[in-house]
Structure 1
Amino acid sequence: MGGLLTKVVKNDAMKNDPPEIYNWRVYVLSCSACFAGALFGMDTGIIGGVLKMDTFRKKFGLQDLSPVAGADLEANIVSTLQAGCFFGALVAYWFADKYGRRASLFGCACIAIIGTTMQAASNGILSVMYIGRLITGFAVGAASMLNPLYTSENAPRAIRGALTGMYQFFIVSGICIAFWINYGNLLHQTGDRQFVISLALQGLPAVCLGVGMLVSNESPRWLARSDQWEKAATTLARVRNLPVDHPYVQSELAEIREHLEMEQRLVAGAGFWDLQKEMWGVRGNRNRALLSIGLMICQQMTGTNAINYYAPQIFANLGLNSTETGLFATGIYGIVKMVTCATFLIFVADTLGRRKSLLWTSIAQGLSMYYIGFYVRFDPPVKGADVPPAGYIAIVMIFLFASFFQFGWGPVCWIYVSEIPSARLRAMNVGIAAATQWLFNFVVARATPNMMVSVGKGGYGTYFIYGSFCFGMFFFAYFFVPETKGMSLEEMDNIFGVIEQGKFMDEEATPNSPRVAAVELGEDGKTATGTTVLQAAEKN
């Protein structure tokens, strides 16, 4: 994949970069970390199919409940994971900054193994299932924040979008594998083994993540932040496959050093409240945080996880009534997601860019959802009858929706929120974004089963709601999302207008003073005005 990427990626950053930096090490490192995405995907994909297995429903008492009560219990089982994910993503930034990205990811792998073991051993006891999913969720949520952070800080700028977006590819690969695990267990296993094996195999990506982190290096940018410059230089040189004294390595180190020194002078301390002041008191940083939050809300409100969690039920509502057929269609859905995500990462992510990908897929996703909604509203499937041609088109629309999502709002959001924050705030910014993603993932997971049985006959209103969100996202991306492809992480301040490094320093400032000025460009885009950090915070 590495050689193919360097052949198809077309952006200015690659023209002057030495070819040695696009080597196998950076791809192996990214793949090792991206097993965090496979963990996310396996947990997401397994549970939807398990909930429809008769053996699971009998073991946990779902078959004796009314449709509404059953939908509530299913939603509780699914959404417990998201609750854990929210808190895991929210606190992971502290561990990432204190102990490093690599060590924190290894910790996530260990916690996930404990959680998945509890799920597999729950034996019909709902409280054990809930606790197991909550613990697993904590690890999945933390890893969802750590992986894009770790990968973006190691990746060469020209292919950073593809490498960071590999997280999404591993998510959809995990979902695809999970769908086929469920289908295989339904066909070839009997009794409790049907769902126990599926639940236990959720831990496989965690094992791979743990092993991968044992053989991977720490982020050179985190080492630099921790004042371990010798290790940072050695690690960066190894990842770039160049000697330490090579001009490219020295230039990247100098850029990291300059950016960190500037940020360290911007605010006196590096405590929690100092970073909060820096994030929310400086307009450019605040804009980046709000943009990250907005992107993650939009990603979830496309409705993609409504399909991921409840695909068998959705296919049944479209006329595929048998559990076996529904799981088979769900497996095909997973393959479509995986193939289209790989296509995006290889051919589009660092060529077409982030902004255009978000714009056109917003409209395409909305049209797909609206067609399904109109079909269920005006020509609903009849139980036991053959699926009409319009129904097959609706099923195709599910697959097309998955394809469009993988060409835009799936991978791009993770790429974007991991690359735009400043170095001091990157872990916190990505943590807030990931927590937002899991919060709205929880909302979707909890609300969708009830929407499917209450918002119009057959749940047709559900598709109109998610489709309308998709159309609205076009305007969000058009007005608020600038292009960032091919730019280094240290250049993001120039796009978002926080400061211009090395200029307009306060005359009374010392290297450790918080009075170093932030610089704002005038309306002509050229004239700069210096203000202290506190003045900037008060003014904005």
Structure 2
Amino acid sequence: MGFFKRPNTLKDTPSQVLNWRLAWGSFVFGLLGASRGLDEGLVGGMVSMGSFESEFDITSGSEKHQADVLSNITSMVQLGSIVGSLLAFFICDTLGRVRTLQVLCVLWLVGFIIVVVSHGNVGQILAGRFIAGLGIGMTVVVGPTYIAEVAPKSVRGTLTNIFAGSVYLGATIAFFSNWRASVNISDDSRWQWVDPQMAHIGFAGFFLLMSFTVPETPRFYTIKGQDEKALETLAKLRQLDVDHPYLQSEIIAIRQQLEMEREATHGVSRWGKLREMFLVPANRYRFMLGLMAQVLGQWSGANSITIYATQFFGVLGKSGQSEKLLASCVLGVVKLTSAYMCAFFLIDFIGRRRSLYMGISIQTFALLYIAIFLGVVGTERIESKDLTAAQHHGAVGAIAMIYISGIGWTMGWNSFQYLVNADIWSLRLRALGSSMVMCLHFVNQFGNTKAVPSMLITMQSSGFFAFCTAVSVASIVFVWFFVPELAGRSLESTDALFSLPWWKIGRYGAKLTPDTDPLTAERDGKMDEDEKNGVQMVEYGRSAV
């Protein structure tokens, strides 16, 4: 079978299911990824602008002091996001996915209003970025969770990766905003750094308005015991009659899984869920998978390159603030294009594992080239512009490798770090599991953002890229052994896969536990009598088990 052979995941999906309601909900919650990209792209340019440096006195003190102040400002949103991603679990499970979107928009909006009126007060800008981080941290939980719960299994990977791609839509907008401000607004005006930050306020307001146009998820209604509302909402989302076999199959699978979970954990509190996550072997494996996706993804260097893009382009020979910011704009466009090409034409076509292999391999090669080039030539010689013809061509190649590493990142870890939460968690633990994994996402991003300025001082640029290369090599080994193929599986079918012995899940899980939902099982003659009766049942609100 060819490497690029597309799995036949759409054969059981009625054409009505892929409709405008599904597209609109996925668009609103998928676009939430832009919140992170906006900050990653805006903050690096903001702290390097002359107007910001003079207003907040960034360039005073020792080199280490400057690095500490810089890392505090750039990482404060990540620090707030650690708390926000944990809060998202409680709010999602209590108020629902849509209400959580509204709460995070208010925090995001208020935080950046505080930032833009800070007027030289570093403490105020740190407080504003922390508050905004609370809201931005919630996006990485509620966005993928909502999409995973409304998406048909055949296109779940594609729709979830709208969120991952939107990170670089935000980054691209941020890079161009910084570049435009640096060209058109003088260093004497604080509007040079304030004007790009207004994009945060605009996006937060937009999502707050759009939150009133999308429905709550059927799975949340099922958790709350509102079975009739769950069926009505699912019928509207799928544009199918309530007695359609596809719709009945989906609602039955949701109810069956939730009922089994409730029977197994009757009377268990929220703290009991936490114990369940770490005491049940299948859940420990799920958590390990999510944890390692965040650790390896964040320390492979891609987000560091996005946040500190202007500095890295300066190291590789770009001179002048406008030239470095323009190079960053190109990086944003490359990552945005690659992310959406991957989302729409790769993830659900060749599968998660193959996409990870390809993306991480490309990223590893690019990072290795940059590390070797900087190690051989040295940053001092690049800064002096005293390069031979061969070294000059090598520098151009190193800049190209920055872009190529971005392509590998969007094809590999960038997609998987969000998709893993959409794929692996059972319904009862989805909000908690997603919150904990994305909390670790921001813990690693916070640590990485704080560490990079100091790493560049102690390890030099070549050492930093060598470190990222080593992490990427370790990533390939991890994917080969531990990451199962989950493309095209129903959310309710993953329990059997993760119940296998731990050493079989990644290498053999997809073969040993093929996907079986009620519809495909009935078609293949694998249903018991209770399940067959459930498929035929159309009464609102009645349990199917």
The normalised TM-score by structure 2 is 0.88
Whether contact under 8 Å (1:36, 1:167) holds in the other structure is yes
The residue that corresponds to 1:477 in the other structure is 479
What is the number of equivalent residue pairs in this alignment? 494
Structure 1 residues 181-330: aligned runs within 5 Å: 181-190=177-186, 191-330=189-328
The residue that corresponds to 1:514 in the other structure is none
For 1:395 and 1:312, the matched residues in 2 are separated by: 12
Q: Does the alignment pair 1:125 with 2:107?
A: no
Structure 1 residues 311-460: aligned runs within 5 Å: 311-380=309-378, 381-383=381-383, 385=385, 388-456=392-460, 459-460=461-462
Structure 1 residues 54-65: aligned runs within 5 Å: 54-65=50-61
List runs of 5+ in structure 2 lacking aligned partners.
Answer: 502-508, 515-545
Aligned letter for 2:432?
M
The residue that corresponds to 1:486 in the other structure is 488
The residue that corresponds to 2:73 in the other structure is 77
Q: Secondary structure at the match of 2:216?
A: coil
Alpha-carbon deviations, 1:52-83, whole Å to 9, x = none?
10111000101233332211111010111111
Whether contact under 8 Å (1:321, 1:384) holds in the other structure is no
The residue that corresponds to 1:517 in the other structure is none
Alpha-carbon deviations, 1:291-327, whole Å to 9, x = none?
1111111110111111111000010011112111000
For 2:364 and 2:60, the matched residues in 1 are separated by: 37
CA drift of 1:203 comes to: 2.1
CA drift of 1:281 comes to: 1.6
Q: Does the alignment pair 1:168 with 2:164?
A: yes
Change (3 A) 1:177 1:481: same
CA drift of 1:9 comes to: 10
Aligned letter for 1:96?
C
Give the aligned CA root-mean-square deviation in angstroms: 1.8
Alpha-carbon deviations, 1:218-267, whole Å to 9, x = none?
01101111111111111111111112222211111111111110010011
Aligned letter for 2:448?
V
Bigger proportion of residues as helix: 2
List runs of 5+ in structure 1 lacking aligned partners.
Answer: 1-7, 500-520, 527-540
Q: Does the alignment pair 1:115 with 2:117?
A: no
Alpha-carbon deviations, 1:488-526, whole Å to 9, x = none?
100111211179xxxxxxxxxxxxxxxxxxxxx9xx999
Q: Secondary structure at the match of 1:350?
A: helix
The residue that corresponds to 2:517 in the other structure is none
The residue that corresponds to 2:526 in the other structure is none
Whether contact under 8 Å (2:316, 2:382) holds in the other structure is no
Whether contact under 8 Å (1:34, 1:209) holds in the other structure is no
Whether contact under 8 Å (1:59, 1:123) holds in the other structure is yes
Aligned letter for 1:70?
Q
The residue that corresponds to 1:15 in the other structure is 11
The residue that corresponds to 1:504 in the other structure is none
Q: Secondary structure at the match of 1:483?
A: coil
Q: Secondary structure at the match of 2:375?
A: helix
CA drift of 1:10 comes to: 3.6
Q: Does the alignment pair 1:44 with 2:46?
A: no
Q: Does the alignment pair 1:25 with 2:21?
A: yes
For 2:5 and 2:143, the matched residues in 1 are separated by: 23
Matched residues, percent identical? Answer: 30
Whether contact under 8 Å (2:91, 2:100) holds in the other structure is yes
CA drift of 1:424 comes to: 0.4
The more displaced of 157-166 and 65-74 is: 65-74
The more displaced of 323-332 and 377-386 is: 377-386
Whether contact under 8 Å (1:268, 1:274) holds in the other structure is no
CA drift of 1:20 comes to: 0.8
